[in-house]
Amino acid sequence: MNKDYYAIIMAGGIGSRFWPISRTSHPKQFIDILGTGKTLIQNTYERFLKVCPKENIYIVTNENYLDLVKAQLPNIGDQQILTEPVMRNTAPCIAYGCFKIESINPNASIVVAPSDHLILDEAAFITAIEKSLKIASENQCLITLGIMPSRPDTGYGYIQYTDQILGEDFHKVKTFTEKPTLDIAKTFIQSGDFLWNAGIFIWSADAILKAFNRYLPEMNEIFADAKPVYNSDNERSHINKAYLQCTNISIDYGIMEKADNVYVLPSEFGWSDLGTWASIYQLAEKDYVGNVVIPSEKVIMYDSSNCMVNVPGEKLVILQGLHDYIVVESNNTLLICPRDQEQNVKQVVADVKSRFGTKYI
């Protein structure tokens, strides 16, 4: 296993679309949302154990989730858990992780990935990551993984690529497009040169630090100035102050959309960002009338079809005459809504917060 290969797992999000299962105090990445026996972050961590040494895997998370990370990943060292005092999107957390790793190993090649995605074909995923790490170590480039699209989905960002090739498989990126309208998404699919943006990035430490210096110079200065305190007792307190100076910006907008050395690897490894209940429903095992029930021991359904049900295992639940609904209970909260209206969950969360405070959030 290559000692110069590193992984940064981003685990600071709150997963509000999966409320009330996912809560601010215990978000989606720390939940066994698919009923597999392991949480999403545990699956992600174990996946990267096959790519790089365990001491080279870093978790970036909100300081409120430090104990959750330690409990779910007991083999990870304290110096490998990087805590954020506030949410500032992906650019600051990636800067923090990459600057820290570079201070330890200037020859590092780094993969950055979310903690809460699903990978069905793990072997194909590991092959794509290792291939990307090798290319990144040999070239001054920024690599992203693009998923071959199966439908005109409006919930994903899209990457357009050109015929210019690096290595045998890496295409020069032409444009990034955030979640498009359905008509535009259909056009993208028909054109044949667009991929879904998986939000998984690979680069050498040198290449990404140069990119921060060029495209986000103020953020670069904040984390470069912290170099003397990385891996010391003063790191956390220094970073807590430094973070408050960071702008709230994504790595996509801050660097990837601006840089001229971005390449994409077209990939197929059974990927889903598990961004909505619809994505869970699509992937989960269904009964003969299309119902998904997690867990299923004490749920009885009569004349009901195409429902997504997630309730506490000890609760007896009877559903009759319900079709195409989401039924979710957690945190003393019951949510029942049509599957085609789940995009309203974020607004529901905001309304609950305004009426009842954070008790149910």
CATH 3.90.550.10 domain span(s) along the chain = 5-272
Range 5-18 average pLDDT: 92
Query: pLDDT value at position 34?
Result: 82
Largest Cα separation within the chain, whole Å, is 65
User: Which tokens hold the place of 76?
Assistant: 């990870």
One of 3.40.50.300, 3.90.550.10, 3.90.1310.10, 3.40.50.620 is the CATH number of 5-272, namely 3.90.550.10
Task: Return the CA Rg of the chain.
Answer: 21
Reported as type and span, the H/E element at residue 231 is none
Stretch among 69-83, 157-171, 177-191 having the lowest mean pLDDT:
177-191
Query: pLDDT value at position 31?
Result: 93
Range 216-223 average pLDDT: 96
Residue 136 has pLDDT above 90, yes or no: yes
Query: pLDDT value at position 121?
Result: 95
CA–CA dist 294, 98 (Å, integer): 38
Residue 99 has pLDDT above 90, yes or no: yes
CA–CA dist 124, 224 (Å, integer): 35
Most confident of 106-115, 225-234, 305-314, 346-355: 106-115
CA–CA dist 172, 21 (Å, integer): 40
Q: How confident is the model at residue 90 (pLDDT cuts 50, 70, 90)?
A: very high
Task: Please list, in sequence order, all residues whose beta carbon lies within 8 angstroms of the beta carbon of residue 75, skipping any fewer than 6 positions away.
Answer: 54
DSSP secondary structure letter of residue 28? G
Query: pLDDT value at position 168?
Result: 87
Reported as type and span, the H/E element at residue 91 is helix 90-104
95 three-state secondary structure: helix
CA–CA dist 6, 110 (Å, integer): 5
Residue 295 has pLDDT above 80, yes or no: no
- Among residues 27, 17, 33, the alpha carbon closest in space to that of 347 is found at 17
Residue 36 has pLDDT above 90, yes or no: no
Range 201-225 average pLDDT: 97
Query: pLDDT value at position 283?
Result: 84
User: Which tokens hold the place of 269?
Assistant: 């490894």
Stretch among 23-27, 46-50, 236-240, 272-276 having the lowest mean pLDDT:
272-276
Residue 296 has pLDDT above 80, yes or no: no
Helix pair angle (90-104, 217-224), 10° resolution = 40
Report residue 141 CA to chain centroid gap.
Answer: 22
Query: pLDDT value at position 232?
Result: 92
Specify the residue for token string 């028909």: 190
DSSP secondary structure letter of residue 92? H
163 burial via Cβ count (<10 Å: 0-12, 13-18, 19+) = exposed
CA–CA dist 84, 81 (Å, integer): 10
CA–CA dist 243, 292 (Å, integer): 42
Strands 142-147 and 262-267: parallel
Query: pLDDT value at position 344?
Result: 86
Most confident of 20-34, 65-79, 154-168, 287-301: 65-79
- Among residues 292, 361, 274, the alpha carbon closest in space to that of 41 is found at 274
